[in-house]
Chain A
Amino acid sequence: MARARLTPRRMVIMLGTLLVVLIVLLLAACTIGSEHIPLADVARTVGAKLFGSQNEVSRENSIIILAIRLPRVLLAIVVGAALSSAGAAYQALLRNPLADPYILGVSTGAAVGAITATLVVGSSPLIRPAAGFSGALVTIAVVYALGEGRRGSISERLVLAGVIVNALLSSVVIFMVTAAAGTRQRSVLSWLIGDLGAEWTLIPFVAVLVGIGIAVIYANARSLNLMMTGEEEASALGVEVRRAKIAVYLAASLITGAAVAVSGVIGFVGLIIPHAVRLAGGSDNRLVIPASALAGGAFLLISDTVARTIIAPRELHIGVITAFIGAPFFIVLLRRTT
């Protein structure tokens, strides 16, 4: 009966493995880039910053490590974790293995906010994410209000509301993109398919928000397990369905909104990582949620490293890489599950 259910032992093994992989990738990503910097130098620079010790590393390399590469690498992990666990949460909540974190329109709302800011003020590093997050918040509230109702299942109404809002906002986004001229348009388009070059000062906020969000989702993991089989059945088995639904919906939407606000709409991560995790470890959300977070962070880290090294010193958009890897992988997944 070992494989049939989740045991603490299996969970520790899987999460432990993922964590180790993530750390190794993190160290590798710090050394790789358009400028190759040996790991020892990275360590020295970080050590000098943290402990005030001597730093013999060249000035440029120090700047690159502390101001450019490290923030970017950390952001990739945080955003990857956010999108993947939000995707896993939505899939369980909506009882739809094909849901992704953008299905309820949060990302499009964030896009409207961010693009408006870009058109008005240019690509300001703090205003754009703030505007994006505000857009996300408004969309979350509107979709929730529209999806409320006594009758009908939670998931159906939410999805319906989300699809409508998404369609409406998408047309707004397209209009705004075509209205933008010249390099503003380029900046907008670039953000729309993902841009991990956010300001360093934002990263702690996003990290904390995402951490809290994932924790809330995890706290409801067992409830989600039951809700995956039906809301009434879950309620009959003792789940406070309404409370769990609100908590998970809010948490997943907020971390998606934060991720999108700070790095644009990176596709595929939230859809395929939970799938891959379920294939490897089963559908129990007590494993799927944290494993998706770790695997998502690793995946985005790899994608970002590829995006910034493959045509160095130029950069590819990360959305291109995730789609390139994600689409074939998804096809493989579909063939294996059906």
Chain B
Amino acid sequence: MLEVRNLSFSYERPVLNDVSFSLGSGELLAVLGPNGSGKSTLLKLIAGIETPGAGVVSMEGRDVSSLSRREAARAIGYVAQESIVRFPLSVLEFVLQGRFAHGRLLGFESEEDERETIRALELTETVEFAERKITELSGGERQRVMIARAIASRPRLLVLDEPVANLDIAHQVKVFQLVKSLVADEAMTAVVVTHELNLAAEFASLAMLLKQGSLVAFASTAEVMHEDLLRSVFEAELHVDRNPITGAPRITPLIQSAPISARS
């Protein structure tokens, strides 16, 4: 469904270097890697917000950069890392914006738009906020609302950039569960950039490791969450074993604390 071939991109210096992979439908792909490895940029290229320097991103056989923004928006949902809204929009208004690509430029939202919006709110369990101002929501609530907006247009591909970065553990789990259910129940495919290695291990079916713009690994989560691989990519002392309850890979950092010399 999604195919990335020889994708390269640079701002002033190279960010992505010859990345290639393909993704079928019904998968939840976790994109992992240290800071500055090009993960966010990869997502933007997939969503079509940026155009590749070289290479192609194709969605269901069509080159994303050749699509109009509206066509791309109907097929691909994008959730940014953080959204600062200074205007008191209601949650309903905010999520309704997700239907933009389906409407006329000068028109009002149709009944279908309203139905789909409410459905998106229901799926993300945010219906109760519909009339509140988006500026009043907490981090976790706002994140779910942003996902609602991204799925309001029923995209086949959902792309999320660090969706749980500022959330507490309960909300982190909730958001991942939401994405997983969307993949399973709504036949979506999801690509998630995250730093939460353990949550990625629990929820993702596929994982990708990026380091300094190059693709280091792309395989099932179990295969990618390999201790030597992770250590070399993250350049950290990591220990990988199995979660005794869920059976998923469990990643723990090993902290070597230096002995505190006693003062005499």
Contacts and interface: CB of A to CB of B under 8 A. Distances in A.
A7 B97 contact: no
B90 A4 contact: yes
B93 A233 contact: no
Contact of B100 (A3, A7, A226, A278): A226
Given A1-B130, A1-B131, A228 B92 contact: no
A4 B69 CA distance: 27
Given A5-B93, A225-B97, A232 B84 contact: no
B150 to A, nearest CB: 8
Interface in B84-100: 84-94, 96-98, 100
A4 B101 contact: no
Interface stretch (A14-22, A236-244, A312-320): A236-244
Interface stretch (B70-78, B211-219, B221-229, B239-247): B70-78
A232 B92 contact: no
Given A150-B11, A236-B78, A240-B69, A8 B105 contact: no
A239 B69 contact: yes
B100 A237 contact: yes
Contacts of A238: 69-70, 72-74, 100-101
Contact of A222 (B44, B85, B100): B100
A235 interface: yes
B105 to A, nearest CB: 6
Contacts of B49: 232, 235-236
A282 interface: yes
Contact of B47 (A7, A8, A236): A236
Contact of A3 (B76, B96, B131): B131
Contacts of B131: 1, 3-4
A85 to B, nearest CB: 16
B78 A226 contact: no
Contact of A233 (B74, B80, B106): B80
Contacts of A286: 108
A53 interface: no
A97 interface: yes
A229 B100 contact: no
B80 A95 contact: no
A40 B92 CA distance: 50
Interface string B45-68: 001110000000000000000000
A229 B89 contact: yes
A95 B86 contact: yes
B83 interface: yes
A199 interface: no
A217 to B, nearest CB: 12
Best-buried of A8, A223, A226, A233 by chain B (most CB within 10 Å): A233
Interface in A63-109: 92, 95-97
A235 B48 CA distance: 8
Contact of B84 (A7, A230, A282): A230
Interface string A148-178: 0011000000000000000000000000000
B54 to A, nearest CB: 17
A292 to B, nearest CB: 14
Contacts of B153: 237
A222 B104 CA distance: 10
Nearest to A218: B106
A7 B108 contact: yes
A4 B100 contact: no
A337 B249 CA distance: 49
B83 A228 contact: no
B87 A239 contact: no
A219 interface: yes
Nearest to A279: B88
Interface of B: 11, 44, 47-49, 69-70, 72-74, 76-78, 80, 83-94, 96-98, 100-101, 103, 105-106, 108-109, 130-131, 149-150, 153
Interface of A: 1, 3-8, 92, 95-97, 150-151, 219, 222-223, 225-226, 228-230, 232-233, 235-240, 278, 282-284, 286, 337
The 4 closest A-B pairs by CB, nearest first: A238-B73, A238-B101, A236-B78, A4-B92
5 contacts: A7-B108, A222-B100, A235-B48, A240-B69, A283-B89
